[in-house]
Structures are given as C-alpha cells and as structure tokens.
Chains A and B, each alone.
Chain A
Amino acid sequence: NAGVTQTPKFQVLKTGQSMTLQCAQDMNHNSMYWYRQDPGMGLRLIYYSASEGTTDKGEVPNGYNVSRLNKREFSLRLESAAPSQTSVYFCASTLFVGRAYEQYFGPGTRLTVT
C-alpha cells in the first residue's frame, strides 16, 4: 500500500494564479481531509469529506474549493492564489474501528505564493 499520496510536492504560484492539489489514498477509507500548516503552527482543517459525494467546510475554508472525485481521490483547488495561502498542505484519510479512529497523513505539498 502506498498509503496517502499527494502531488505535487512543491509549487510556486504568482498571486492570482490557480492550481489544484491532488490527493489519493489506497486504503479504502471513507473519510478524507485537507489541512494547512503554517510555520511553527499546528494543522488547521480546510475541508473534509466524510464519504464519497459529500464535502464540508472546516476551520479555514475561504479561498479554497474541494472535489471528492471518487472514494480514492480528494482534490483541493485554489482559484486565485494569495500570499496568505503560502503554507504546507496535508491530505489525510481516516480508518474507523468501532468508535475509535486513526488518521493517516500524506507527505505534504509545499506551496509558495509570491
């Protein structure tokens, strides 16, 4: 199993450009998430998808859109990038075992907006 994979690993954008961050998991998990992590800070939830076909806003959704393409893939789109969106973006998926759960994270995408 590859686990959670993310592409690209690095990206530099100019203000106003758009791009899509890709995420895929091969663990057959229902729930997937997008987080951002600014330097020296904890992770903040942007959007999540509890199951295929559903998406919901997290703590910091402004400036982002998401698509849950199928059970495996969950993409994050920046329509008009801003310097404040410079961050590391992590995708995650969750395994539920009864009421317990375990979240698996991807390696991250480092985005710089100039």
Chain B
Amino acid sequence: LAKTTQPISMDSYEGQEVNITCSHNNIATNDYITWYQQFPSQGPRFIIQGYKTKVTNEVASLFIPADRKSSTLSLPRVSLSDTAVYYCLVGEITDKLIFGTGTRLQVFP
C-alpha cells in the first residue's frame, strides 16, 4: 500500500494560490492519486483525481511529475470557505485507500 506524506498544516490569505504537496515514493503502476476536502463535522468530499501530468477541474488543479512520486494540489485564489483538511490518497481501488491525518489549511482574511 502506498504511504503518503503531506504537511500537517498550512496557512494562507484570501486571494492567494495554495499548493499542497504530497509525497508517495512507493506508488504502484496502477495507483491513482486522489485528493479529498473535509470540513468540520462533515464527511470528506472528492476534489480531484489524476494518474499523470496535469488534471484541472472547476475547483483545483493536480500536478503529477513524470516519476509520480509526488503530487501537488493547487487551489487558485483561496477564500475563507476553503479552510478545511485536505487528504491525499494513493491507490488502485478504494478498499485499499489509507487516509492519513491530512493537511489542515487555514485561510485568513
């Protein structure tokens, strides 16, 4: 199972771009990289998923280098409502996914 390492916490200000990097050195060939967002007292919410290069949706971008040993979640122009915990998960199928403690993002006015 691919273990992930991400910063415990990050601070930012409204309007800034936030990049959260996740390290996954032992990622397997068939593993996808998935990011979730969790607000207090709510279940996690899927943000974005990718296999290689760059993926973009209406919420975020995911950058994956060629060796796939790390990935970076990019949140453009964050707002106060982006304050949450962000989880990086790596795996082929969901029953093998392991949630770590995530990155606690605090956005200040």
Q: Is the interface of B mostly helix, strand, loop or mixed?
A: loop
**Given A42-B100, A56-B95, does the pair A107, B49 have CB atoms closer than 8 Å?**
no
A101 contacts B95, C-beta separation under 8 Å: no
B99 contacts A101, C-beta separation under 8 Å: no
In Å, the complex CA distance between A35 and B87 comes to 15
- By size class, the interface of chain A is 20 to 34
Complex contacts, B30 vs chain A, CB 8 Å: 99
In Å, the complex CA distance between A80 and B55 comes to 46
- By size class, the interface of chain B is 20 to 34
Complex contacts, A105 vs chain B, CB 8 Å: 43-45
A-B contact count (CB 8 A): 60
Q: Nearest chain-B residue to A37 (Cβ)?
A: B99
A102 contacts B100, C-beta separation under 8 Å: no
CB distance from B83 to the nearest CB of A (A): 16
Instruction: Select which of B41, B43, B51, B94 is within 8 A of A94 by beta carbon.
Output: B94
What does the 1/0 interface line of A45-82 toward B look like (CB < 8 Å)?
10010100000101100000000000000000000000
In Å, the complex CA distance between A53 and B87 comes to 30
A18 lies within 8 A of chain B by Cβ:
no
CB distance from B95 to the nearest CB of A (A): 5
A41 contacts B101, C-beta separation under 8 Å: yes
**Given A31-B95, A56-B95, does the pair A42, B49 have CB atoms closer than 8 Å?**
no
Complex contacts, B44 vs chain A, CB 8 Å: 43, 90, 103, 105
8 interchain pairs (CB within 8 A)? Answer: A31-B95, A42-B102, A45-B95, A45-B97, A45-B98, A48-B94, A50-B95, A101-B34
Q: Which 10 A-B pairs have the closest CB atoms?
A: A105-B43, A42-B99, A43-B99, A48-B95, A94-B94, A90-B43, A102-B46, A42-B100, A42-B101, A105-B44
- What residues of chain A have their CB less than 8 Å away from a CB belonging to chain B? 4, 31, 33, 35, 40-45, 48, 50, 56, 58-59, 90, 92, 94, 99-108
